[in-house]
Structure 1
């Protein structure tokens, strides 16, 4: 019997798994990658008697390999908040999927665990820009304003580390970051004592300062679009900077386009926080696009499609 933990390399995926393994500790084979690396089940070879836990990767993008694993006799437990497509019916598949804009995978795991490690779920929600839910949960737990800010920083910095074209862009590989987290049941101890957290925090602030120097390429009352250069800092910061812009301008939609080495753009879209919808609908119109209602992206937008994307983005949020 083998255990596989398959998880997105962002804050939501990592902290969802961290909660589960605090509650259900056992050794497992870790399968993860950068945030945009979501077709992860193709890397899993499991069969009868094996157990696969999947966290925060779209079922729609993994359905063929999911069916393969189920046919081979593996048992699969699936937690996610992205558009799933058609969910297979199988006795060995157990899904907890909710695409509401106000939840993330870590919050689904928090519900499954009946709140045993809610502080980690709150950190993940902050990292995934589920701000209202995170704040509400933190208040319900009676956390102080400084404690809430610590959880926000943890989620933001872990989420920030997941962005990049490849692992070389990251400060630390997501599986190694998860292994580091395993030593900490308390997020406040992690923030106070772990050197890696200080490294991520310092890197985040440095990269965000560079992003703030970039002016929008196209902006109006409803939307703003930014184009970032092909650098490691811009690849790391694109998602979290989009979250920061959304918080700063809650009635405006934002698109961050990062130049790719071979041409074209990697796209991150954030819906207005006042709307929290439409990002997935927009990005699904383009090959390689996907995500959730409030935050979505396109892995490779050809340069020839830039004007088409800008027009579609502005039309989406002029309503």
Structure 2
């Protein structure tokens, strides 16, 4: 593997670790199988690229992209909570609708931003990082997101969110508003995915309406590989597994491509095999936890703090 390919694998790995963190919030913490990801990823790219083309500061454009992802997450949660549409179908409906919405935002199937200032250009002004500019910048984004999630999941609201995902009935009995937790968790999850989409468009120099295809599978691959490697389900190790899994997955793909074992058109097949193998491995090592006991612990802590605060 060449140095350029290695740097590219790290760059993509750190970027998709943001997607994995979003998937971790929805799938693992909230227990909400969300397919909105395949639409919110290109949504972030579309909003970020459109804003940059129209002269908006790249950092503000990236923030707007994350906010658009949060809005879409709220819509998916609304379909599930308010209109009683099952979680999987709610995500599919949002994903399908976003294809047309993204076309409307960009006004075309793809929108180039070559020659426009990006967050990476601004970061490059701090020093001459050369080949590693994007890698370092994306590593900072990924680590910052991981640390923020770690902190959030230890707060009163974070404990309530975890309790709601583990056992909604137990959480509700302890005074947790499950509907509010679904709205919050889905907003955070899709904001992270849209953030990754905006950054991806800036690394590639173009936003494309079809760039979200397979995003959910890639995020799941990183999440499951990280869990299989770390074998711990505590939030700190869960978020760390997202970073480790994304890097390992992308390095594996880059290595196999450089050795000629697979071709670019085989990536989806390889991803499916890797995810299946990681799931089988994780089951064999007993990564499952006692959900009832964990839910009671989290619900009591969250409910106790909420009750104390109300008093």
The alignment's TM-score, normalised by the length of structure 2, stands at 0.26
Structure with greater strand percent: 1
The alignment's TM-score, normalised by the length of structure 1, stands at 0.26
